[in-house]
Chains A and B, each alone.
Chain A
Amino acid sequence: MSHYTLDAKRLMCPMPVIRTQDKVAELKTGDTLEVTCTDPGALNDIPAWCRINGHVVISSSEEKGEVIITVKVGEA
């Protein structure tokens, strides 16, 4: 299991979700992906995308205009 990062800053939703989706497609079950965004909408959209696609948000935070969400990849 590996940890990855994704820079989705300055992208407006749904682009951070699309980038997350495309990166997760390359990863294995149990891997984690830390996504950094500047669109606060990602705080709703990435968790919603995870819920419907079987992945888990293990942490999320918002500080100084940046949203950081860590996703654990579920079963394909």
Chain B
Amino acid sequence: MATTQRKAVALISGGLDSLLAAKAVMEQGVHVEGINFYTGFCVEGHTHAIRKKDKAKPKRNNALWVAEQLGIKLHIVDIIEEYKDVVINPSHGYGQHMNPCLDCKGFMVKKAHEWIQENNFDFIITGEVIGQRPMSQRKDTMPVIARESGAGDLLVRPLCAQHLPATLPEQEGWLDREQMFDFSGRTRKPQMALAESYGFEDYAQPAGGCCFLTDEKYSKKISDLWESRGVRDYELDDIMLLKVGRHIRPKKHFKIIIGREEGENNFLSGYRKMFASLKTTSHAGPLALLDSVNGELSDEDIQLAAQITARYSQGRTADKVEVEFTNKQGVSKLIEVTPMAPSKLDEAWHV
């Protein structure tokens, strides 16, 4: 009698570990499909590609690329809205910066568990390695993810399975524990050797740089956003804009987002109906958006923002620079300012 082919979904980040974990299970005859969760904080090659100087970098989506290397389907799931609660109220707290790694992993495994129930799959695969991450991949926190996600013994970590209790797929004989691995710690050598044995020569740099929330500067910008608004919340546009430009807050109630080069100016120009903006007209210069907490800007605020914007234009040493101010309704006016001297630009204004 033919046995039923078991089906598993693998969390695919685009990094090496999830690629190997999925492959290890495929090697045992299991049908594997990939799932990738988009939180809004994922570091995508495309985000970097906003900047013109980075355009030469390959613009591939690593999760799609990994799926193609494996020859499996990939389901990309938008979890932006639901993920807010993970970022804003992590029950296990944050890591070094604003990264809620343990809650994040638990949430993604929980979503994968829901997905396998809806799609009639048998178990879940992750590329976790015991001892590799200080928060989410420790011997004492890995059971927390299995328990709190609801996945329990349906969660298989093939790269370190031999260090962990047998999962249901092992108990049922769907997977042979001996054909999985005993990786541990931060060394990458076992993964690189396994990649070579599978014939993978090109793969994304190992995980860790996959989320903006692990970035110190980005985390400071989120803290600044919440502090200035007096509320811990965000929209997708907020977190996209935190990835782009110089953020300067000369007064508590408004900040200026200044494009650093043509690519960023083009990206920011897409937001001109949502924000008031400034653009130097007498000299080449950046586009700047004015993000005001209550939507109101006094003439004094606009004058100050124009001086700062002019400081980043080609006219930075000129006596006068002409700047066009445009409000959200598209009504423009020209103002003339003296660019702010670098010594007057308070370092504390830089977010």
- List residues of chain A with CB under 8 Å of any chain B CB: 10, 12-15, 17-18, 21, 38-41, 44-45, 48-49, 51-53, 65
Contacts and interface: CB of A to CB of B under 8 A. Distances in A.
Given A12-B46, A40-B59, A45 B38 contact: no
Interface string B222-253: 00000000000000000010000000000000
Contact of B61 (A10, A48, A51): A48
B270 A45 contact: no
Nearest to B74: A52
State the 7 A-B residue pairs at the shortest beta-carbon distance, nearest first: A41-B46, A48-B64, A13-B46, A41-B59, A45-B61, A18-B78, A52-B67
Nearest to A49: B64
A45 B47 CA distance: 14
A13 B157 CA distance: 29
Contacts, number: 63
Contact of A44 (B59, B67, B75): B59
Interface residues of B, number: 28
Contacts of A40: 49, 59
Nearest to A45: B61
A52 B59 CA distance: 18
A13 B72 contact: no
B265 to A, nearest CB: 13
A53 B72 CA distance: 8
Interface in B244-279: 266, 270
A38 B46 CA distance: 12
Given A12-B44, A14-B44, A38-B270, A48 B78 contact: no
Interface of B: 36, 38, 42, 44-47, 49-50, 59-61, 63-65, 67-68, 71-78, 240, 266, 270
B270 A14 contact: no
A30 B74 CA distance: 21
B51 to A, nearest CB: 13
A61 to B, nearest CB: 17
Given A12-B44, A40-B49, A52-B64, 14 more contacts: A14-B36, A14-B64, A41-B44, A41-B46, A41-B49, A44-B60, A45-B60, A48-B61, A48-B68, A51-B68, A52-B68, A52-B74, A53-B73, A53-B74
